[in-house]
Chain A
Amino acid sequence: MAESASPKFLRPATAPGVDVGKAMTFDATLSLDAGRGLAPWTVAYMTYGTLNAARSNAVLVCHALTGDQFVIGNNPMTGRPGWWPSMVGPGKPIDTDRFFVICANVLGGCMGTSGPSDIDPATGKPYGLSFPLVTIHDMVRAQAALLDALGIEQVLCVTGGSMGGMQVLQWAASYPDRVVSAMPMATGARHSAQNIAFHEVGRQAIMADPDWHGGAYQAAGTQPSKGLAVARMAAHITYLSEAALQRKFGRSLQNRAEISFQFAPDFQVESYLHHQGSSFVDRFDANSYLYITRAMDYFDLAADYGGVLAEAFRGTRTKFCIASFTSDWLFPTAENKRIAHALNAAGATVSFVEIVTDKGHDSFLLDEPELFATARGFLNSVAQSRGIA
């Protein structure tokens, strides 16, 4: 493997020469659940804080569907702050003055880790749909290889929300001895039928865009921006809640006093969604969106353990802290609680909190003092039990 300071982003184009984090390229084949291997392959990542001499203070943060390795600080792609500044940083619950935080772009992603927009060395052309389908387990395998390469045998905590939470659960199930504690939030041990359905709407929107070109849009010099924007708009609704949308927008009109009797966006909520869609296509690859949503759909942790979720955690010594949010209808409390009960049945040490908020699924990214208090208390007690100051 080789370390490079600046992985290439093939698309969307970012300003050349900006610091885009670290990357590690592996020549050894990464065996995937789909039955295919990937070689060579690259994982792009960021680290924050300092690894202690005992290498015992590492916290692995797993990002969600459209997240990336830029947890805090400036994101070179968007020019905006990272996605979890309320949770991670100096003095924050995941305190970078105490902990060494690692976050890697997921396999199949478009921020430097191998994905469908990369050049296939066998053909010299972008992979497109010839990139193998990846699973949550494959993403975790890639992260495990990165930790091996960084010389980190065990992490103090693995944490993340939504798809990040799925990776946390997979980590705990596949590498129990490497995970001292796990803090999944707003997640599930499987993707529900409703969630698969929403993802399929998004994928169909992308694939229906003539600029998608059967996935070979890079060669055609296009990108399915309209389809990807619609996918993002539909998905974004699922990240909020009816109450939050109503509170934020109600039936307010956008830059007009009366309805226009046209289909241009009259309502503020329409403008808001349009903005969400158009800003997304500037930073995200459409094929990556197809691959990563598919990985989430395929996730069913219990299925790998005879259909009994508790079996995934049998004998585990990992300490768990699970958080859900009352208004999250994408990964509702019941799905999160199911994990807690399976862990209980497996005799694991588990805490579970349900945070009262009307901000929906995205609450884990937002300012939720109860969540911060829980995370801080949990990490503190875990760190103390491992003698980390």
Chain B
Amino acid sequence: MSLRPDLAAIAEMVPQGARVLDVGCGDGLLLEHLQSTKGVDGRGLELSQQNVNACVARGLAVIQGDADTDLHEYPSQVFDIVILSQTIQATYDPSRVLEHLLRIGKRTIVSLPNFGHWRVRLSLLVNGRMPQTKALGYSWHDTPNIHLCTIADFVSLVQETNGVIESALALDGKGHTRPMRPDAWGPNIFAEGAIFLLRQR
């Protein structure tokens, strides 16, 4: 089974046999991959009923719920890894969500699209309209991505929420990754997205 490259990069960060919570786990592809290749004890939280059904049918333990409202129910430090993949920009309160993730997991992996990418910047400059990209193909009024941010924005949110960045990867348009320095200016212009490994300070 070939996993989407950004998901494969996340999977590589997960240690063997870890207890994993995947927040916004979709149809469970990543969780299933982690269970079969890393022997993790995996759990999921997912908003869509159809996706939850797909997960349950796969034999995954997934709870239908909302990252914005349900994370406070989880006890602290019970998961080795908490994953939030391409979801933070769609949450109502990213700061609170991130605080909960850092509290629930010993380590937290967050992947996000980078709104600071040069094509996004150029699109706004040239067209004067809210940018639409391949990864973010919605018009401004119907997008679920209500809290888009740049890599630099996210790095400062991590600091504000008492998180520590242990490592970071830049994602290119094909989903390939390379290590990056979170405070470097380059990735904030040239990376289409990023993956962060975080822990609570």
Contacts and interface: CB of A to CB of B under 8 A. Distances in A.
A380 interface: yes
Most A-side CB within 10 Å, residue of B52, B53, B65, B70: B53
A374 B75 contact: no
B59 to A, nearest CB: 3
A353 B49 contact: yes
Contacts of A384: 59
B75 A377 contact: no
B137 to A, nearest CB: 27
A350 B42 CA distance: 10
A373 B53 contact: yes
Nearest to A378: B56
Interface residue SS majority, chain B: mixed
B59 A352 contact: no
Nearest to A338: B73
A345 interface: yes
Contact of A340 (B58, B63, B75, B78): B63
Contacts of B70: 337, 341
Most A-side CB within 10 Å, residue of B56, B57, B78: B56
Contacts of B40: none
Interface residues of A, number: 27
Given A337-B65, A356-B49, A376 B57 contact: yes
Contacts of B63: 340, 344, 350-352
A319 interface: yes
Interface in A331-389: 337, 340-341, 344-345, 347, 349-356, 370, 373-374, 376-378, 380-382, 384-385
Nearest to B72: A341
B58 A381 contact: yes
A142 interface: no
B169 interface: no
Interface residues of B, number: 20
Contact of A353 (B53, B73, B74, B78): B53
B24 to A, nearest CB: 15
A381 B35 CA distance: 14
Contacts of B75: 344-345
Interface string B36-66: 0000000100000100110111111111110
Nearest to B50: A370
Nearest to B55: A351
Contacts of B74: 341, 344-345
A311 to B, nearest CB: 13
A349 to B, nearest CB: 4
Nearest to A340: B63
Contacts of B52: 351-353, 374
A351 B61 contact: yes
A351 B57 contact: no
B55 A352 contact: no
Contacts of A378: 56-57, 59
Given A344-B43, A344-B73, A345-B75, A353 B64 contact: yes
Contact of A347 (B55, B62, B78): B78
A369 B56 CA distance: 14
Contacts of A355: 49
Contacts of A385: 59
A321 interface: yes
Contacts of A374: 52-53, 56-57
Contact of B73 (A341, A347, A370, A381): A341
Contacts of B49: 353-356, 370
A341 B72 CA distance: 10
A374 to B, nearest CB: 5
A221 B62 CA distance: 55
A340 B56 CA distance: 14
A370 B189 CA distance: 44
Contacts of A352: 52, 62-65
A349 B53 contact: no
Given A341-B73, A345-B75, A352-B64, A381 B57 contact: yes
24 contacts: A319-B61, A337-B73, A340-B63, A341-B73, A341-B74, A344-B75, A345-B74, A345-B78, A347-B78, A349-B61, A350-B43, A350-B63, A351-B52, A351-B56, A351-B63, A352-B62, A356-B49, A373-B53, A377-B53, A377-B57, A377-B59, A380-B59, A381-B58, A384-B59
Q: Which 4 A-B pairs have the closest CB atoms?
A: A377-B57, A381-B59, A341-B73, A352-B63
Given A344-B43, A353-B56, A380-B59, 5 more contacts: A341-B70, A344-B74, A351-B52, A373-B53, A374-B57
